[in-house]
Structure 1
Amino acid sequence: MESLQNILNIVNPFIMGIYVISILFVVVFTVLENRNPLKTISWVLVLIMLPVIGFVFFIFFGQNFRKEKIIARKGLRNVDLLSNLAHAQIHRISEGEMFDNQALEQHRNLITMLLNNSNAVVTIGNRVKILQNGTDTFDAILQALESAKKFIHLEYYIFDNDEIGGKIKEILKRKTAEGVEVRMIVDDVGSWELKKPFFKEMWDAGIQAYSFLQVRFPNLTSKVNYRNHRKILIVDGYTGFIGGINIADRYKYGSEKYGIWRDTHVKIEGDAVNTLQTVFLTDWFFVSQTEIHDRKYFPTKEPAGQKMVQIVASGPDSDWPAIMMGIFQAIASARKYVYIATPYFMPSESVLLALKTAALGGVDVRILIPERSDAFVTLLSSRSFIREMLDADVKFYFYQKGFLHSKVMIVDNSLGVVGSANMDFRSFEQNYEATASFLMN
């Protein structure tokens, strides 16, 4: 017994020393990162309550890679060209040359901010088609893929090797045999079920397929928390798709547990496709270490329609949380109404305040979320915000027909936003996301 006590006398100070060092490490690390003090306090509390597990969680999930730049964008020719064009448009706005109606003038600050924080170039002459469900989306995607003559670029968070995925896979293999270039990026976590034989099959067929930020030992680092959540498809540089729909059967057929999966996607034709292409090729450089900037991937196009579009991309490596800032500014600019559909409602403090401020100021703010969710914890988290939002006269509605997966915002019938970003902190801070803003010009 005395021997055991002696051991405890030695071990306890050792454990306490590690405990204190762990907390000091987190505090010093977060201070050096110039992190929000509230986040620092939160991590310290986690360490106090769960010293060992908390430290492991901090190593894997607590670090901020925005300044580290997981993807080095500057210096890439496509990105530099986009930056130059964005600065030229900022100058035109300052000279009063770009806006000729009240709807656009209302969103001048939003447009300028997106040019500044993410080089979200304003494109005109676009044709935009809203695809309101998986059936319409996959029909349009399959038709576009069948029409490909030069290249196909796909980037998806989830690509399931099921019926829909199998159809797309066979088209890609056939198109490659016809001489069409096919490049494919899938997120390693979102598409976890895709095994090595799938990628071997793709490469054997001539399809260049990569998984984004692989989670494999010994590369299992804190970057596991930063996922590529984008859903992008570009065909021949003339047709592009963006939105919330992944490549999976449930988006068309629903699921036994949740019923239909209600989602929204967009088909774009016009110069906005060039911006989508830049987003894809930047991510392509990251996964393949190959820079592609041939003009054949950015064909000159005649106007396909009359819609004004800004493609906004952001992630943990971008200079600013561009999508979150855009949502904040769009809400702040609202005069009549803000309508939002999102599967997960866990907004940042700034967006939460913007919504409550708008509602208290007389703006009709309505938020549509699913009654049932594919993640119980996020469902509880989303509902935890409802009481304080109702107190500010924000209206909540529950989608009951199945699972709502749409990520949509409409402001004053003059601005629409569709993309991959949820109304939550992961999409705002940790995921690679892309959205399209449509202005009623």
Structure 2
Amino acid sequence: MVEFLTNHIWIILIVLNYVIAISAVITVVLKNINPTKTLSYIVVLVFFPFLGLLIYYLFGQEYRKNKIFSRKHVLNQSVIKSINDELELDKREVKKVDNFLDGKSKLVKLLYSDKTSPLTLRNKIEVLKNGDTKFEYLLEDLKEAKHHIHLEYYVVMDGKIWTEILEILCAKAREGVIVRLTYDDVGSKLSSKTKQTLNDFGIEHYPFMPVIFSRFTGKMNYRNHRKIAVIDGKVAYVGGINIADEYVNEYNESFWRDTHLRIVGEAVKSLQINFLTTWHFVSGQKLKIDKSYFPKVECNDKVAVQIAASGPDTDWAYIMEAIFTAITTAEDYVYITTPYFVPNDQMIMALQVASKSGVEVKVIIPKESDSWMVKHATNSYLEHLLEANIEVYRYTKGFVHAKTMVVDDIFSTVGTSNMDYRSFNINFEVNAFIYNIEQSKIVKQQFLEDLKDCEKIELVKWVDRPNLEKLKESYCRLWSPLI
């Protein structure tokens, strides 16, 4: 028997491969997903033994439907339900918002289908430009913490800024403040010394979906790309800036352009709920949530904000749907800044139709990306945008990492989501959607200032780029859903 298996090992493995592959093909067909995507998986599974199964295992699973990322324990708790009930607007308030937003009220209704995205009216927000400003505010808020500090970040790296934050966290933990930290296991890199320090001071910390060989997994995983900080349930931060020295221009030779939000008010509660759902997943703790995590916050400012989370733990791709709706309902302009522009077909068509309908569409992307493959994949989409009279600008001052969009001086968004397939469909993301003229004009003004540090791409010159470049672009575009 052993001799037979040894002599026929490859035949046995091939047969086993195709038994599993046929099962996978049947599963894909029964899902009734996009026909092109279905055929792609069938071709890979049939014509690429073993490799096809690996690709399907890594990228063919629909985690949003499989529900392995459960939020039910947290969302079913009475305190969370009461908080959402408190944030629910009455009919008179909803009507006021509808009148102010005009056509943008569709966005509010779209996100309202997600019970964790209520529209909040009483908020004070500050648009923070670059990491130096963000950390100046964050460090002061951390020092003032009295009850708890909740941090959820894609990247936490040992370095100067993390050392400053860690010293404050340890001091606060010594005072009795509850400190919780969750970080993505692929995006972050914390030394064993740092982890021991956290343990010594009683700071709870958990990696998100830990992997054994993080250096080799790259982005071939569902990662937590969110950046959330909540202090005492009173002030919160969300945006594009992680905890690492590269985000602080004071510590770098190269310039890093980014945007973050500081929020005081009702929207903090939504970010708190999102943190607690993640904490339940990473820690496995059935944390009993009480009102101390949701204190009453006095806020006289009236800025309408919705917090939208998206990922394998949500029923729908809320952030992508909201951005799509904002673009398709635009009347005057759409200004987008994104470091990674690898859009799906729906987003390309939305931008093209908006531009051809007379809406001014401008997009800022980096001239030099931190990924060779992303850079060329992005370039493969630009010609079709330029042909639709969409203006594309490449940021030349340094690396632009801001993830913002502003529409018609009424609506703007700042968050963690890039304009790419991974952010829309795979990663865990969170964005703040702002319905306010004053704040949207601030985001708009920052966009216009950034244009001064950009070069505009002209269609005539772009189409004449070398064929070798076009070949690289076409190759990288094939892998766009995976990068």
TM-score by length of 2: 0.82
Conserved? CA contact 2:117–2:308, under 8 Å: yes
Q: What residue is the counterpart of 1:26 in the other structure?
A: 24
Residues 16 and 206 (structure 1 numbering): CA distance in 2 closer, same or farther, change over 3 Å? closer
| 1:287 maps onto 2:289 in alignment | no
Q: What residue is the counterpart of 1:38 in the other structure?
A: 36
Q: Displacement of 1:15 after TM fit?
A: 6.1
The structure with the largest helix share of the pair is: 2
Q: Displacement of 1:30 after TM fit?
A: 1.5
Secondary structure of 1:109's counterpart equals: helix
Q: What residue is the counterpart of 1:3 in the other structure?
A: none
Q: What residue is the counterpart of 2:267 in the other structure?
A: 272
Question: Residues 10-89 of structure 1 correspond to what in structure 2 (within 5 A)?
Answer: 14=12, 17-18=15-16, 20-48=18-46, 50-76=48-74, 77=77, 79-81=80-82, 84=85, 88-89=88-89
- Matched to 2:416, the amino acid is S
Conserved? CA contact 1:118–1:322, under 8 Å: no
Q: What residue is the counterpart of 1:336 in the other structure?
A: 332
- Aligned residue-pair number: 428
Q: Which shifted more, 266-275 or 194-203?
A: 194-203
Q: Could you report, residue by residue, the CA deviation over 1:38-95 in whole angstroms, capped at 9, with x for unpaired residues?
A: 2222223334554322321221232111112232223432554466567x54xx45x7
Q: Displacement of 1:199 after TM fit?
A: 2.2
- Matched to 1:27, the amino acid is V
- What is the CA–CA distance in structure 2 between the aligned matches of 1:102 and 1:410, rounded to whole Å? 19
Which of residues 236, 244, 254 is equivalent to 1:259? Answer: 254
- Matched to 2:186, the amino acid is V
- Matched to 2:230, the amino acid is I
| 1:388 maps onto 2:371 in alignment | no
- What is the CA–CA distance in structure 2 between the aligned matches of 1:163 and 1:12, rounded to whole Å? 53
Conserved? CA contact 1:238–1:299, under 8 Å: yes
| 1:415 maps onto 2:411 in alignment | yes
Q: What residue is the counterpart of 2:167 in the other structure?
A: 170
Residues 28 and 223 (structure 1 numbering): CA distance in 2 closer, same or farther, change over 3 Å? farther
- Matched to 2:121, the amino acid is I
Conserved? CA contact 1:338–1:364, under 8 Å: yes
Conserved? CA contact 1:60–1:223, under 8 Å: no
- What is the CA–CA distance in structure 1 between the aligned matches of 2:362 and 2:418, rounded to whole Å? 16
Conserved? CA contact 1:118–1:313, under 8 Å: no
| 1:107 maps onto 2:104 in alignment | yes
Q: Could you report, residue by residue, the CA deviation over 1:372-395 in whole angstroms, capped at 9, with x for unpaired residues?
A: 001110111111110111111111
Q: Could you report, residue by residue, the CA deviation over 1:322-341 in whole angstroms, capped at 9, with x for unpaired residues?
A: 11111111111100000000
- What is the CA–CA distance in structure 2 between the aligned matches of 1:250 and 1:363, rounded to whole Å? 36
- What is the CA–CA distance in structure 1 between the aligned matches of 2:73 and 2:171, rounded to whole Å? 35
Q: Which shifted more, 22-31 or 330-339?
A: 22-31
TM-score by length of 1: 0.90
Q: Displacement of 1:143 after TM fit?
A: 0.9
- Matched to 1:332, the amino acid is T
Conserved? CA contact 2:158–2:191, under 8 Å: no
Conserved? CA contact 2:352–2:385, under 8 Å: yes
Q: Displacement of 1:269 after TM fit?
A: 0.7
Q: Say what the alpha-carbon RMSD is for the aligned residues.
A: 2.7
- What is the CA–CA distance in structure 2 between the aligned matches of 1:277 and 1:74, rounded to whole Å? 15
Q: What residue is the counterpart of 2:397 in the other structure?
A: 401
Q: Displacement of 1:424 after TM fit?
A: 0.6
Q: Displacement of 1:27 after TM fit?
A: 1.3
- What is the CA–CA distance in structure 2 between the aligned matches of 1:12 and 1:281, rounded to whole Å? 49
Q: What residue is the counterpart of 1:324 in the other structure?
A: 320
Residues 243 and 27 (structure 1 numbering): CA distance in 2 closer, same or farther, change over 3 Å? same
| 1:179 maps onto 2:176 in alignment | yes
Percent identity of equivalent pairs: 40
Q: Could you report, residue by residue, the CA deviation over 1:21-46 in whole angstroms, capped at 9, with x for unpaired residues?
A: 35423311213434323222222333
Q: What residue is the counterpart of 2:246 in the other structure?
A: 250
Secondary structure of 1:225's counterpart equals: coil
Which of residues 120, 125, 128 is equivalent to 1:123? Answer: 120
Residues 407 and 221 (structure 1 numbering): CA distance in 2 closer, same or farther, change over 3 Å? closer
Q: Could you report, residue by residue, the CA deviation over 1:225-270 in whole angstroms, capped at 9, with x for unpaired residues?
A: 11110000011111110000000001113887x9211110010111
Unmatched tracts of structure 1, length 5 or more: 1-6
Q: Could you report, residue by residue, the CA deviation over 1:138-166 in whole angstroms, capped at 9, with x for unpaired residues?
A: 11111111111111110000001110011
Q: What residue is the counterpart of 1:144 in the other structure?
A: 141
- What is the CA–CA distance in structure 1 between the aligned matches of 2:17 and 2:287, rounded to whole Å? 46
Q: Could you report, residue by residue, the CA deviation over 1:182-232 in whole angstroms, capped at 9, with x for unpaired residues?
A: 1111011111x2244432321211111111111138xx9999611110000
- What is the CA–CA distance in structure 2 between the aligned matches of 1:25 and 1:12, rounded to whole Å? 20
- What is the CA–CA distance in structure 2 between the aligned matches of 1:101 and 1:81, rounded to whole Å? 25
- Matched to 1:69, the amino acid is K
- What is the CA–CA distance in structure 1 between the aligned matches of 2:258 and 2:20, rounded to whole Å? 43
Unmatched tracts of structure 2, length 5 or more: 438-483
- Matched to 1:36, the amino acid is N
Q: What residue is the counterpart of 2:302 in the other structure?
A: 306
- What is the CA–CA distance in structure 1 between the aligned matches of 2:246 and 2:97, rounded to whole Å? 44
